[in-house]
Amino acid sequence: MVYNQKITKEIEDLTAKCLSNLSINQALYKEYDVQRGLRNLQGEGVRAGLTRISEITSFKKVNGEKIPCDGELRYQGIDIHEITDGFLKEERFGFEEVAYLMLFGSLPTEAQLKAFRTLLGEQRTLPKNFTRDVIMKAPSKDMMNTLSRSVLTLYAYDTKADDTSLANVLRQCINLIATFPMMCVYGYHAYNHYIRDKSMYIHRPSNELSTAENILMMLREDRKYTNLEARVLDLAMVLHMEHGGGNNSTFTTHVVTSSGTDTYSAIAAALGSLKGPKHGGANIKVVEMFKDMKKNISDINDEEEIKSYLLKLLRKEAFDKSGLIYGMGHAVYSLSDPRANIFKQYVKQLAHAKHRDNDFKLYSAVERLAPEVIGAERHIYKGVSANIDFYSGFVYGMLDLPTELYTPIFACSRIVGWSAHRIEELINTDKIIRPAYMAVKEHEEYVEMKDRK
C-alpha cells in the first residue's frame, strides 16, 4: 500500500478551521511578554534553567544603561579566544580537548587528554550490522532525519537505555559523541548510493585520528585530506560546540531531560530543533545567496554594485525575496561574533590553498558593506555583524562537504554541548543533587564532631 500523501478537500476544510479557531491576537504576545522563538526584542534568550556550560556577553551595563559591546563567548568560564589560542598555536586538534572541558568543567592534563582520546577511539563503533540494517535501509534525502532515526534506534540496542544514573548517561553521551560522525557520513553514503545512484563505499574510522580527520577520511573515496583541511574543520567544530543556555536546541535538551526521559529521546529532540532552518540551516542559505550574488554581479570589485545587490536583498527584490542578508546579524551578538572573528583568519588560509581568493574577497566585501547598507535602510536596535554561519558554509564547500551534511556536521559539534547540558540538568535535580549534598553535609558534620572529641 502506498503511503497516502494527498491533501484532500476535507483536509483543506479542516485546515481552514484550524486557522479560524486557533489563531491568537498578535498584540497579546507583547502584552504578556511572550518570547517567541526563544528570543525577545533585546535578543535575550529564554532559559530553561541555570547553566555553567557556556556564557555569552553582547551588552555591558554602563551607569545602568545597556551598551552594545564586542561579543564574548566562554566555555566553562574560559574565553573562547583563550581556548582556541591554546591548541592553534601549538598546532594541536582541539575538538577532543574542548569536549573534555565541556563535559568535566576543566581543561585536561596531557595524561587526561590522552586517556579521553583513547576512550573516544574505543567508542567509535556501532552495533553489529547497524550500518546495514538501520542506516542503509530506507535512506532519506534529509540527513538530519537519518541521524535522528539512527539515534532513536540505538535505544533498542542499549540494555540500559532507560537508566538515567549519572555514570550511565555519561557513557551514553560519550558513545554518541564518538559515533555521530559515523552515522552522519554513512547516512550520506547510503543516500548517495540508493537515491542518487552513485558509488557506495564505507570506511571504518581510525582510533588514531582526531574527530575532524575521521570525518574527512570517512567521507572521501581516497581517504586523503590535508593537514590544513583537518585543522580548519576541527576549529569549526570547536566554535560550533556550544552557544549559551538559551539557544533552541540546548533549551530543548534541558526541557526534555527534566521530564526524566532517556538520553536517546532527549538528543533526538535536540536534533529536531537543530534541523530547523532558523537554527542549524542558516549556512546553507548563505552559500545559496552568494551563488545568486555572483550570477547578478558583473564585477566583484565594484563596491557600488555589491551594495546595490545587498539593497535589493533587503527590499525583497533579489534571491529568495525574504528581505534578509543571510549570515549578517545575530539574535544575541551586536557589534561582533567572536566565533566569526576567530574563524575568519583560517578561512582566508584555506581559501588561498584552494585558489578561492576572489571568493574570499567577495565575502569580506559583503561583511564590510552589509552593516552600512542595513543601517541606512532599516532602524535596528543593536549592531549588525557577520556571524559564524557567514563563513562556515563557504568553508564546508571548500572542504568538499556536500550541502546535505552541513547541518549534521553542526550536530557532530553540538552533541558535546547537548551532552554537557543533559548531565548538568540531571546533576542539579533533586534526584541527584540532594542525596549528594546530604552525603557531603553528613561527612562535614562527622568530621566536625570528630574534631570536637
Sequence spans of domains, the chain: 72-280+420-428, 282-399
Nearest to 293, CA basis, from 309, 315, 314, 308: 309
> Is the pLDDT confidence value at 161 over 70?
yes
Which grid coordinates belong to 394?
563557504
Map grid coordinates 574543520 to a residue.
233
Residue 283's contacts (CB-CB under 8 Å, 6 or more residues apart) are 327, 389, 392, 393, 396, 406, 410
Write down the pLDDT at residue 45.
56
Write down the pLDDT at residue 42.
54
Cβ count within 10 A of residue 152: 16
Mean pLDDT over residues 404-425, rounded? Answer: 94
Residues carrying an active site annotation: 330, 389
Q: Helix 263-275 to helix 248-257 angle, to the nearest 10 degrees?
A: 160
Mean pLDDT over residues 261-267, rounded? Answer: 97
State the fold for domain 72-280+420-428: Citrate Synthase; domain 1 (1.10.580)
Handedness of CA 207, 148, 167, 253 (dihedral sign): positive
pLDDT in tens, 173-197: 999 999 999 999 999 999 999 999 9
- The lowest-confidence range among 47-51, 136-140, 293-297 is 47-51
pLDDT in tens, 436-451: 544 555 555 555 555 5
pLDDT in tens, 357-391: 999 999 999 999 999 999 888 866 566 889 999 99
Write down the pLDDT at residue 272.
95
On average, the pLDDT of the chain sits at: 88
Write down the pLDDT at residue 29.
66
pLDDT in tens, 273-302: 999 877 788 889 999 999 999 999 999 999
Write down the pLDDT at residue 90.
93
Nearest to 192, CA basis, from 213, 219, 225: 219
| Burial class of residue 34 in the structure, from the number of CB atoms within 10 Å of its CB (0-12 exposed, 13-18 middle, 19+ buried) | exposed
Mean pLDDT is highest, among 51-55, 255-259, 280-284, 404-408, for: 404-408
The CATH architecture one would assign to domain 282-399 is: Orthogonal Bundle (1.10)
Contact 211, 413 (CB under 8 A): no
Write down the pLDDT at residue 434.
47
> Pick the residue with more confidence: 300 or 15?
300
**Residue type at position 434:** R
Mean pLDDT over residues 133-147, rounded? Answer: 93
**Residue type at position 380:** I
Write down the pLDDT at residue 450.
53
To the nearest whole percent, how much of the chain has pLDDT over 70?
A: 88
For residue 62, the cross-strand partners are: 65
